[in-house]
Structure 1
Amino acid sequence: MDGNLTYQGIGLDAATALALLEWQAEMGAEEPILDNTVDRFELAARPKPVMPEISLSQVKAPAALSATPDDPSALVAEAEALAASADSLAALASVQEDFDGIELKKGARNFCFSDGNPKARVLILGEAPGDQEDREGRPFVGRAGQLLNRMFGAIGLARDAVDAEKALYIVNVLTWRPPGNRDPSPDEIAVSLPFVRRHIELASPDLIVLMGNIPCQAALGRRGILRLRGQWTEAFGRPALPMTHPAYLLRNPAAKREAWADLLSIAARLETASA
């Protein structure tokens, strides 16, 4: 035994075989359980809980009652009504997790609502859960999340800090993982946006970090993070700074210099606001 493997007549060393397995996991093929694949999107819809009878005066959005996956505008209206009904983060998490208007829910393992201190002055808005986030039910816990921790730790901020002055609160545009880590579709962003908006209203941070292209698309209606980064703007009624995603920095280490400049800008903004 020399530690080498053979696949379809091609010799593979152990390192190459492991790299192929990791690539398959990133593409979404991480559950080799059945002989035949299962299309989770074709599974029967989960039964909805039985709701108590209510009077017409209690219905906030009658049009949302007829929402179907083929009617995106009605789904958005339903999401808006549910988000508006939440008077706390716990209530928002409950109604968003129960919302069946996004197909990604059928194929994801876990609902990824948030992580960190909801009283933090800084809210980081990310894109969507990846494989590790889907497994743990928390945003930014993979390699990119570890880099994010080190980045903000360098300016004295941490997601596990009890003191709101030194804390981070982390939210994603999407709370369910897209298959294969693909970019969210415009419809998926649109139906998630009412929940994101209400989430930010309830957390009420001093500033927002738009971490990557998808948050910029959701909050600003624009993409092109390499052009947008480092320029303060406004999103959801609060100061916001676009930054390159830590996953990009892992692929392009030279860009860390610009990310450091953005971090210093955030630290200066916080200090000025506290003065």
Structure 2
Amino acid sequence: MPSDQTPLPPGFDAAATLLEWYAAMGVDVTLADAPLDRFEESAKAREAAESRAARRQAPAVPRGAAPAMAPALQGADVRPLSPQGQTAQVPTEATVMQAREAAQSAKTLDELKALIQAFDGCNLKLTAKNTVFADGNPAAKLMLIGEAPGRDEDIEGRPFVGRSGQLLDRMLHAIGYGRNENAYIANVIYWRPPGNRDPSDVEVAICRPFILRQIELVDPELIVFLGAQPAKALLGGDAIKQGINKLRGRWCELETGGKRFKALPTFHPAYLLRTPIKKREAWRDFLTAKVFLENGGMLPPT
């Protein structure tokens, strides 16, 4: 009797093929043995917050009186344990303030790096393998800032080391620059988001004080934003509403620590790998940056 199933080719490994497909789709981090219902967790967290608020508003019990039965907690404002055994906290405004205070206390880049590595206020740290701080020459006049680490960066603990990083290195070398000589590279986010998803607004707000302090300590003559997201995260204002096609090539100013830094947004190398036709515009931006730096920080003629 004929079989209903098409025979598999010799040497076909179904398990390996499935794993490769998962990796291609961004499913490369195991968080738990069983799936978690994040919607249910959020509902429980809200119920717990409402319960605490109700208890704070309840009248005080007179001394000696029998206390009323407290309602049972429906949940807590924490998420399940991470693979490292740490508890993921729900970020709050207090977490952002904690990040600001920690960032401002750093007097050197080494101190700032140690503070970020010890900081537990960002839940991305719980699923990341490494804290990706920076790479390159901290005395460089040129500082390049991306959005967040990817898989390769998370493994090596250095920014821009994958395919997009290799393209970035070639672009820098084409204008006479290199990360080991006269360029410094960092990201707005210091830990890889699971599955390479976009960082949330809260995650950006928590990491923002650290990257601003990093900029102050490096004190570059020029900042190049690699993609729209770092420009939006650090510039704010009208930049938030604009895409990279409108932002790129336009001179901006970033004010932090009482100082103004010239900034130039351009395309992210990963975008250029997907859209090679845009490389000519990115090349123009890098040439503009080179002229600016070689002219002692003077804007090139338009």
TM-score (ref. length: structure 1): 0.79
Q: Is the 8 A contact 1:158 1:168 kept in 2?
A: yes
SS at 1:234 equivalent: strand
* Amino acid in structure 2 at the alignment position of 1:198: R
Aligned residues: CA RMSD:
2.8
Number of positions where the alignment pairs a residue of Structure 1 with one of Structure 2? 240
Q: Is the 8 A contact 2:228 2:247 kept in 1?
A: no
* Amino acid in structure 1 at the alignment position of 2:152: Q
The corresponding residue for 2:215 is 200
Q: Is the 8 A contact 1:124 1:169 kept in 2?
A: yes
Cα 1:6/1:137, change in 2 over 3 Å: closer
The corresponding residue for 1:30 is 28
Q: CA deviation at 1:273?
A: 1.3
Q: CA deviation at 1:274?
A: 6.3
1:242 aligns to 2:265 (yes or no): yes
SS at 1:79 equivalent: helix
Partner Cα separation in structure 1 for residue 35 and residue 23 of structure 2: 16
1:264 aligns to 2:276 (yes or no): no
The corresponding residue for 1:42 is 80
The corresponding residue for 1:92 is 112
The corresponding residue for 1:230 is 249
Partner Cα separation in structure 2 for residue 130 and residue 76 of structure 1: 24
Partner Cα separation in structure 2 for residue 260 and residue 102 of structure 1: 35
The corresponding residue for 1:105 is 125
* Amino acid in structure 2 at the alignment position of 1:272: N
The corresponding residue for 2:147 is 127
* Amino acid in structure 2 at the alignment position of 1:233: C
The corresponding residue for 1:213 is 228
The corresponding residue for 2:179 is 159
Deviations along 1:118-174, whole A, 9 cap, x unmatched? 00100001110000000000000000000000001100000011xxxxx11001000
Which consecutive residues of structure 1, in runs of 5 or more, have no partner in the other structure? 9-13, 49-67, 162-166
Larger Cα-atom Rg: 2
Q: CA deviation at 1:42?
A: 2.0
Identity of aligned residues (%): 47
Deviations along 1:194-214, whole A, 9 cap, x unmatched? 001100000111110011122
Partner Cα separation in structure 1 for residue 21 and residue 277 of structure 2: 24
TM-score (ref. length: structure 2): 0.72
Q: CA deviation at 1:33?
A: 11
Deviations along 1:16-41, whole A, 9 cap, x unmatched? x5xx755522544336899x4587x6
